[in-house]
Structure 1
Amino acid sequence: MHLINVHTLTLREFAGSRDLPPYAILSHTWGPEEISFAEFSDPGRPYLAHDGAGLRKIRLTCQKARAAGLDWAWIDTCCIDKSSSAELSEAINSMFKWYRGARVCFAILGKCRWFSRGWTLQELIAPRHVKFYIDELAKKGCHKNKNVDRRWISIGSKKDLVGALSIVTRIDSPILLSEQSLDSISVAGRMSWAAGRQTSREEDIAYCLMGIFGVNMPMLYGEGSKAFQRLQEEIMRESDDHSLFVWRAKPESARRFPYRGLLADSPDEFVYSEGIEPIPLSTIDERMS
């Protein structure tokens, strides 16, 4: 895991979770000026000359981390070497754990896209302490003016806003506050949280849910919708909760494929599964006997 030294804005790799120092973590939606791992790790640091939105995001994250008494921070844009398939796979499989392990998560609510993205679902649930901010320039509609000083406006913590967050996300407050285990919520119920969320790549709607279901699987970009099928198969291997099959086909899919089998096409087909109780195999056997 690569972390940013918030004092020097340089990267350092930590080999194992036992060696990790306390760190802050950022939750955000990507923009066009993000700084990649290759750019950020370049010894010449050429990105410093551009001072775009991506660099300001890194600077503000480090500023907030220093104010919280932390020396390290993690940002997905510049802390993952995406040229390495092994590192990318490890990062995606470890993402939930990394957000859960952070001392604090800074969440930037960019034009409300944050609530509609797939990856931000686990970034809301996993960290125990989340502080929410609005980008001042985005709020004013002047984000293209690079000469204006950029800052984040605090709107409260996850604990402060839990009631509103629960309404918007359809996730019960005890889950948001880490007072209730994810395993206590049915598979169908957890799937319903992701209904309506979007990812830039089709496969990511499956990969971003692995931590929520406690499963791991290899990344195969290019497999398309098969990724969500594999996710459900992994869930079946790990859980005997048969609420996985409590979904409703979308009208178009039902017309085209009236006989589809047991697995859903996407989390959207679980939109009506909120509140479904876990259905273990033993319960089904008892009812049938």
Structure 2
Amino acid sequence: MWLLSTAQLKLVHFDRVDQVPGGYAILSHVWQYPEQSFQDVQELHSAGAPYDDARVSPKIRGGVNAAKTHGIDWLWIDASCIDKTSSAELSEAINSMFSWYAEAQICYAYLQDVPDSCTLDSPGSAFRTSRWFTRGWTLQELIAPRYLIFMSSEWTYLGTKASLAPLLSDITGIDMEVLTKRRELQHVSVARRMSWASKRQTTRVEDEAYSLMGLFGITMPTIYGEGREAFRRLQKEIMKRWSDQTLFAWGQVLPPDLPRTSLGRDIGNPIGTLFAPSPHAFVDSADYRSIPPCRIASATNSSIQVPEGDTVCEVMLRIKTCD
């Protein structure tokens, strides 16, 4: 993990987060191209540039100054602290990102499109409509941190995740108990977690999957260029880890009297497709809850035997494949 020193424009590598003296702060933001890269920062450091040098981006200076205000000596910014020329380092960072946000002393959410004068909870306010709430990666950056501070375009304090929890829940649909750490993610259905991402967007289609790995405790190789296969791979990994049938509760809700001959023709969902094509398919799935195996057996008047080492989802997949 590379971190920016707040004392001088310098990147320092730490093998583990618990090796960082005094901990670190982390900056969540929406990318505004061009962002200063790992190589840009290295070049500025080699040139002896201080943080007040005009060549240093205002975003880096603002994040560093915020960390200094709270007495934190180290700052992580995704744009500048990941060497994206190394595919191995990029993959490690993506797989570790949720835990990095969770372990940070403070996370700053910099909302570049929200002015100081904004009345946060007004209908249609700049805060409610901020791009930060529409991006795929910022979903985990909202949920993971223990202490999250929202900052305006001028780096003015707007509030914390805890103090703004009711408003944040209204904007994002995420349960207040999850935002305030009173409910663990593992106690939220897969479909509901997916629904939180259903209206968000990513620049790269693969990031629809990669940005959700932390929400499900999943690690997997990142392969840019695989397209929507990334989201299919994510669902397979979720199926292996969680016995939660709501993974398959996506798409349009069918009326009970719909003829079987209409399936796949009128609703746009291919017959026999177990996995969703993207998180957008879960837009109406927030209220689905997993059914315990014993209740499934009781409802079907049968005995369901789950082989040792298998999840209920894996058994359902085999049944579906054999039909």
Pair 1:23 & 2:24 matched: yes
Tell me the TM-score normalised to structure 2 length: 0.79
- With 76-85 and 266-275 compared, the bigger mean Cα shift is at 266-275
The one-letter amino acid paired with 2:279 is P
In structure 1, the residue matched to 2:177 is 174
Amino acid at match of 2:14: F
Residue equivalent to 1:200: 203
Is the counterpart of residue 262 in structure 1 residue 274 in structure 2? yes
State the partner residue of 2:131.
Answer: 113
- Superposed displacement of residue 106, structure 1: 0.4
Corresponding position of 1:271 = 283
Deviation at 1:275, TM superposition (A): 2.3
Larger helix proportion of the pair: 1
Matches of 1:254 and 1:13, distance apart in 2: 55
Who is 1:59 aligned against? 61
Q: Of 74, 79, 83, which aligns to 1:72?
A: 74
- Tell me what 1:157 maps to: 160
Alpha-carbon distance in 2 for matches of 1:51, 1:109: 22
Q: d(CA) in 1 for partners of 2:61 and 2:101? A: 20
Letter in 1 for 2:235: Q
Counterpart code for 1:32: Y
Q: How does 1:89-168 map to 2 (within 5 A)?
A: 89-111=91-113, 112-135=130-153, 151-168=154-171
- Residue by residue over 1:187-240, the C-alpha shift from the partner in whole angstroms, topping out at 9 and shown as x without a partner, is 001000001100000000100000000011100100101100000000001111
Structure 1 residue runs without a partner (length 5+)? 136-150
CA contact 2:252–2:267 (8 Å) conserved in 1: no
Match of 1:3 in 2: 3
Gap change, CA 1:280 and 1:95, over 3 Å in 2: farther
CA offsets per residue over residues 142-171 of structure 1, 9 Å max, x none?
Answer: xxxxxxxxx312211111111100000001
Name the CA shift for 1:11/1:220 in 2 (closer, same or farther; >3 Å). Answer: same
Task: Tell me the C-alpha RMSD between the 2 structures.
Answer: 2.2
Per-residue deviation, 1:282: 4.4
SS at match of 2:156: strand
Distance 2:191 2:291 in 1: 10
1:250 positional shift: 10
Aligned to 2:296: 284
**Equivalent-residue separation in structure 2 for 1:287 and 1:244 (angstroms):** 20
> Secondary structure at the residue paired with 2:4?
strand
Aligned equivalents of 1:171, 1:256: Cα separation in 2: 28
User: Within the alignment, does 1:81 sit opposite 2:93 as a pair?
Assistant: no
- Residue matched to 1:144: none
Taking the aligned partners of 1:71 and 1:79, their CA distance within structure 2 comes to: 15
Cα offset, 1:115, TM superposition: 0.4
Correspondence for 1:218: 221
- Provide Cα deviations, 1:73-114, integer angstroms capped at 9, x if missing partner: 100000000000110000000000000000111001233110
> Letter of the aligned partner of 1:57 in structure 2?
K
Instruction: Give the length in aligned residue pairs.
Output: 273
**Shift of the alpha carbon at 1:177?**
1.0
Q: 1:207 to 1:33 in 2, by over 3 A?
A: same
Uncovered stretches (5+) of structure 2, i.e. residues with no partner = 114-129, 255-263, 303-323
Q: Per-residue deviation at 1:45?
A: 3.9
Following TM superposition, by how much is the alpha carbon of 1:55 offset from its aligned partner in structure 2, in angstroms? 1.4
Deviation at 1:51, TM superposition (A): 3.1
Cα pair 2:25 2:105 within 8 Å, conserved: yes
Which residue of 2 is the match for residue 236 of structure 1?
Answer: 239
Structure 1: distance between partners of 2:79 and 2:290: 36
Letter in 2 for 1:35: Q
Structure 2 residue matching 1:131: 3-state secondary structure: strand
Question: Retained in 1: the 8 A contact 2:9–2:49?
Answer: no
Give the C-alpha shift of residue 118 in structure 1: 0.1
Conserved 8 A contact 1:166-1:172: yes
Partner SS, residue 152 of structure 1:
coil
Q: Kindly provide the amino acid, as one letter, of the partner of residue 160 in structure 2.
A: S
Q: Distance in 2 between matches of 1:115 and 1:71?
A: 28
Percent sequence identity is 47
What is the CA–CA distance in structure 1 between the aligned matches of 2:151 and 2:241, rounded to whole Å? 37
Q: Is the 8 A contact 1:4 1:73 kept in 2?
A: yes
